[in-house]
Structure 1
Amino acid sequence: MFRTIMPLSRAGDSLGVEWEAGFEFARGSERVEIGLSECIQAAAAMPLALVKDPEQEAFRVVAVMGVEDNDNLLVDDDGHWHAGYTPSALRLYPFTLSGGTNGADPELAYDAASGMVHVGGSQRLLDDGQPTELPERLIKALRWMEEDKIAARIAAQSLEVAGVVGPWEPSITLHGEEVSPRGLYGVDQKALAGLRGPMLEALNDAGGLLLAHAQLVSMNNFPFLGRRLHEAEKQARPMLFDA
């Protein structure tokens, strides 16, 4: 989703943001990481899953928005969003945090390729080189989101330690072939039900129980992605005759 990260400190003297009305920028993202506090609302609207971070070999929690790479089924060709909840990362785009290593505070950055941040943006970020109040509000929201993601990762780790995480391979039939997203993990309901005493307490303290129940409930939303896939396929199919 992010292509060209530009720290706000390197921008020009006057800069503003013009948020797009739709979510065309997310068309190529089939999943997005979410925080622990988002899980309950997100679980009512879309499938949630755990995925392995390739660098850290640790689980992250994601909202699943498509079944094939680079194809978001919750955003149509006009950029309209088709789900009852919008993950924080999408609501805060094109902004992110940059730096923050070696004890330094992270600074506000944006995706320069988004086209949303420019001199003519109506919501001012910089006036004559000086930040308005908007950058500080965005930094606060982004920091909170990152902390929430860390809480979700801790919850996911507690589920892994408890031995209740396993591969999840849901599938959709399209043109007689099975289409399935890759690399998803979910909660083993039977294994979870078998836990007792201290392990359950540890899961509860780490947020693992909340995440487990949200993920299990969210599995019921996978057929919704199937319907979206069939709708998208039907719209893309050329008409053979005039109605």
Structure 2
Amino acid sequence: MAKHVIVNNEEHKDIKIITKRSAELGDNIWYAQTFPQEFRAVQAHYPIFFSKNPETGQFLPVALFGFKHQENLFLDDQGWHASYIPAAVMRQPFLIAQQTITENGEEKQQRMLSMDMDNPRVSTEEGEPLFLPYGGNSEFLDKVANMLEALHFGVSDGTQFCQALTDMELLEPFTLDVQLQTGEKHQMIGFYTINEDKLAALSNEQLERLHKDNYLQAIYMALASQSNVRTLLNKKNALEAAAQPA
């Protein structure tokens, strides 16, 4: 169970964060949330699809790393093999917490840097220190804070992006049937993609709205990224072939 605490330089002066990538540290995930501002970097490596929250009905964009639960085809004993890792993965074990403060007699919500103390990346023995010996923020912690700030606004923009796609009825469910060279079959369901026919049929006014909000480019990058399914399949086939007896 997660144990979230607000980061401070007294209680956490000796805390370090392990930054290497491994399954033991929680990187054996098959997808993670992404957002339009990082689509350009994400689409160079990973397919981008959309996931729907069954309770709220809201969509969010996700980067796909594998074909099934706990499968990350970019991960092996040597680390994560891609030049870009989505911010939602990189931010672990940190997140932004909301704390109520009183300013000039008025209560306000302030964003604070929070950390999951039960996350396996949290250590006192190895990793990147959070604070300098005299108590100031380390360069690592400053980078984390900047990344979380970008992630906070990116996720918010991603919500608006998905709402625009929903309003224009551009998202549709799809099923991905994958057959490996060994004959093994996988069926991936539960994700959504952009309907290209409906996209092509949008009015000039709708296209202008998407362009004005910088979403049109994000749409085309998401569509282009789906060619990376072949990259995943090649990685999966190579992994299966290596596991076969000689």
1:198 alignment counterpart = 205
Counterpart-to-counterpart distance in 1, 2:227 and 2:83: 14
Is the CA contact (8 Å cut-off) linking 1:13 and 1:130 kept in structure 2?
no
Is the CA contact (8 Å cut-off) linking 1:167 and 1:186 kept in structure 2?
yes
Counterpart-to-counterpart distance in 2, 1:112 and 1:147: 24
Q: Judge which range, 132-141 or 202-211, deviates more.
A: 132-141
How far is the alpha carbon of 1:17 from its aligned partner? Answer: 2.0
After superposition, the Cα gap between the structure-2 partners of 1:84 and 1:20, relative to the gap in structure 1 and judged at 3 Å, is closer
For these two proteins, the number of residue pairs brought into alignment is 237
How far is the alpha carbon of 1:146 from its aligned partner? Answer: 1.6
Matches within 5 A, 1:81-160: 81-100=80-99, 103-121=108-126, 123-126=128-131, 130=135, 132-134=137-139, 135=141, 137-160=143-166
After superposition, the C-alpha distances for 1:23-43 in whole angstroms (9 at most, x for unaligned) are: 433433111111211112211
Matches within 5 A, 1:49-88: 49-76=49-76, 78-88=77-87
After superposition, the Cα gap between the structure-2 partners of 1:3 and 1:171, relative to the gap in structure 1 and judged at 3 Å, is farther
After superposition, the C-alpha distances for 1:167-220 in whole angstroms (9 at most, x for unaligned) are: 132231034343132211111111111112111112223333122101110111
Q: Judge which range, 57-66 or 99-108, deviates more.
A: 99-108
Higher relative helix content? 1
Is the CA contact (8 Å cut-off) linking 1:167 and 1:185 kept in structure 2?
yes
Q: Judge which range, 92-101 or 193-202, deviates more.
A: 92-101
**Structure 2 residue identity aligned to 1:147:** F
Is the CA contact (8 Å cut-off) linking 1:30 and 1:72 kept in structure 2?
yes
Unmatched 5+ stretches in structure 1: none
Instruction: Please state whether the residue corresponding to 1:57 is helix, strand or coil.
Output: coil
Counterpart-to-counterpart distance in 1, 2:237 and 2:65: 14
Instruction: Please state whether the residue corresponding to 2:228 is helix, strand or coil.
Output: helix
After superposition, the Cα gap between the structure-2 partners of 1:99 and 1:128, relative to the gap in structure 1 and judged at 3 Å, is farther
Unmatched 5+ stretches in structure 2: 101-106
**Structure 1 residue identity aligned to 2:28:** G
Q: Under a length normalisation based on structure 2, what TM-score does the superposition of the two structures give?
A: 0.82
Q: Judge which range, 136-145 or 122-131, deviates more.
A: 122-131
Higher relative strand content? 2
How far is the alpha carbon of 1:11 from its aligned partner? Answer: 7.6
2:104 alignment counterpart = none
Counterpart-to-counterpart distance in 1, 2:200 and 2:35: 24
1:37 alignment counterpart = 37
Counterpart-to-counterpart distance in 2, 1:181 and 1:147: 30
Instruction: Please state whether the residue corresponding to 1:179 is helix, strand or coil.
Output: strand
Is the CA contact (8 Å cut-off) linking 1:15 and 1:121 kept in structure 2?
no
Q: Judge which range, 135-144 or 49-58, deviates more.
A: 135-144
2:177 alignment counterpart = 171
Matches within 5 A, 1:173-192: 173-174=179-180, 175-192=182-199
Taking only the aligned residue pairs, the percentage that are identical comes to 21
How far is the alpha carbon of 1:52 from its aligned partner? Answer: 0.8
How far is the alpha carbon of 1:10 from its aligned partner? Answer: 10
**Structure 1 residue identity aligned to 2:88:** A
After superposition, the Cα gap between the structure-2 partners of 1:229 and 1:26, relative to the gap in structure 1 and judged at 3 Å, is farther
Counterpart-to-counterpart distance in 1, 2:116 and 2:12: 18
Instruction: Please state whether the residue corresponding to 1:172 is helix, strand or coil.
Output: strand
